[in-house]
Structure 1
């Protein structure tokens, strides 16, 4: 039987006819419907872009160090940044930090409800709490009142390593049922106060547990979901685990904001997060480099070239596609579908492409400068077109 594809409703116009979005139906990701909330100036859920966030590892009461790290996270594109607020000194410092940065801040609150109230009063855009851990419904009511008064949302953060004792006794071990039951119990505490501006996470270090819990939670609530594989490890293995776990969820349409948890610099979490979303076509920020692994046919050093270009083009924010292919076997074909392309040839020269069309040979010595110039020119063209559209 021939393959039959039924496009999701998002790929159809009101009359039922296919739209431009369904030209390549195998690339379609139908996102799970969720309600939309605000984290400061950033929308999360609904039709909002999937937000990428990280967390500082400085002492929050060291304002200079914390602002410096947040600024570096802003520079690599962070939409939201979380900071720990474990003590009164940290919640007091939050006001000064908020005044010096541009991204919305999430205050990480674990046990003391007063830190949540202080953080909301001092400018936090969101509080990360587990309502059941802060002393009962009366204290939840106080935190919710502070959040509501300051336009502050809440993230319910369930972690497989810190589930409630009664749930562990009931289920015997951390499992999807236990994690989802914990999340929904916390959510009810907020719902009982008439507060619905919350998102939920159910993270674990085990990929299978995390993915199963999120699938179950996605069916049980319309709250926006914050994705993550917690304690995923160092840069390499953490990226692999996060890509498998979060990638499968995102591909299934689940997830409204993500944090890649790495034992590495926070900026690396943002880079990996955006690369993950770009690979799935869910965000298009920055240059998407398509490059070959190199072989004996290469007409230039592909690996070295790509490493240099990743650094030289890291400042570009516009969605530009770039193909860097070592030889003419696949190079021209890849260049047909990218904004800028370079294909290795022979005798120290390669072929440049713009919008799939040959623009002439380029000496290997000069190719990096020419590629960078071509990408920057295309980025300026995209930026100008966007500004013109906005102005109209």
Structure 2
């Protein structure tokens, strides 16, 4: 079931131009994309491709790989051929790596044009991007601001990040290149949010948002959720990366959970569950833990509520596709489409719910396929 759209639930996304990262649109009216970055040695094409396979299965729309040396860009051609999603080549200072990455088939170059040397070098990189259909991401980071800006402002601040981003953007514009997006990341939530807010007002380019170096899985998820949540709620952000010291698959999962929680994009099962208390009639925590793992293969958007007792259970069940509420004497209530459907004993709760979800997902997909045929 889909909750009704209320004025207080609607997010008005910032209007901006749209670019293409390979075949994936970013900005404009395109869905907010979720991306991640590999942490393998890029020159090891086999290991990098294997990791990309895993993030593709998790739902990543775009993946970035670091290309610090010629061995990395040499492996990039094989990696790009094997990937089913666009590959972004992360370049910092060496302009030749950017040209090699474009020639190898990278969909996008992450590079700051002001950092790669002379005007001739910038011109060569821009021409390579044009020749090979690459977009560019200008990636400003509070930890690597230009020295002149640090001297001007005294420290990393929102104004310095925005000025750096606009300076780099101007270089690309001067070369008649506008297929780019911008990021102004910082590990400090307040600094990052303020910088993105300032940049959103100063230009109409798509914005890649993230809180950089956010930390480990738990701390980084919390920190990123606060910062990106503020930006997304304010309509800012066209593509996101959750930077975690964790498996890149976790970055993708957290990214989707953020978008799902704000109603900006849905993928897979949304589980609504209670924290459990003395009123619970079954082990809610263990049930949800196993259920989420068992349902990770479902990509169809739908909702499931798992509530331990009848205090909030029936109410939550009316707002989800499938509901499960704990009842007395080991007998519980199952809801389908918000309506009580049947009772269930303690045994086989997870197996039963998984079957119901799989059946509902299949029903939804059949309906989509039928609509597509009619259209």
For structure 2, the 5+ residue unaligned runs are: none
Identify the residue that residue 336 of structure 2 maps to in structure 1: 354
Q: Does 1:263 align with 2:261?
A: no
Structure with bigger RCO (C-alpha 8 Å, 6+ apart): 2
Identify the residue that residue 308 of structure 2 maps to in structure 1: 326
Identify the residue that residue 286 of structure 2 maps to in structure 1: 304
What TM-score do the two structures reach when normalised by structure 1? 0.94
For structure 1, the 5+ residue unaligned runs are: 1-19
* Offset, 1:365: 1.2
Identify the residue that residue 252 of structure 1 maps to in structure 2: 234
Per-residue CA deviations over 1:30-79 (Å, capped at 9, x if unaligned) read 00001010111111000100000000000001011000000000011000
Identify the residue that residue 67 of structure 2 maps to in structure 1: 85
* Offset, 1:176: 0.3
Identify the residue that residue 15 of structure 2 maps to in structure 1: 33
Identify the residue that residue 3 of structure 1 maps to in structure 2: none
SS at match of 2:278: coil
Match of 2:354 among 368, 372, 387: 372
SS at match of 1:124: coil
Find the aligned partners of 1:300 and 1:62 in 2 and give their Cα distance.
48
Identify the residue that residue 94 of structure 1 maps to in structure 2: 76
**What does 1:1-392 correspond to in 2, within 5 Å?**
23-391=5-373, 392=375
Equivalent residue pairs, number: 373
Alpha-carbon RMSD across the aligned residues, in angstroms, is 1.1
What TM-score do the two structures reach when normalised by structure 2? 0.98
- Counterpart contact for 1:325–1:343, Cα < 8 Å: yes
SS at match of 1:360: strand
Per-residue CA deviations over 1:62-112 (Å, capped at 9, x if unaligned) read 011000000000011000000000111100100001111101000000000
SS at match of 1:33: coil
- Counterpart contact for 2:3–2:319, Cα < 8 Å: no
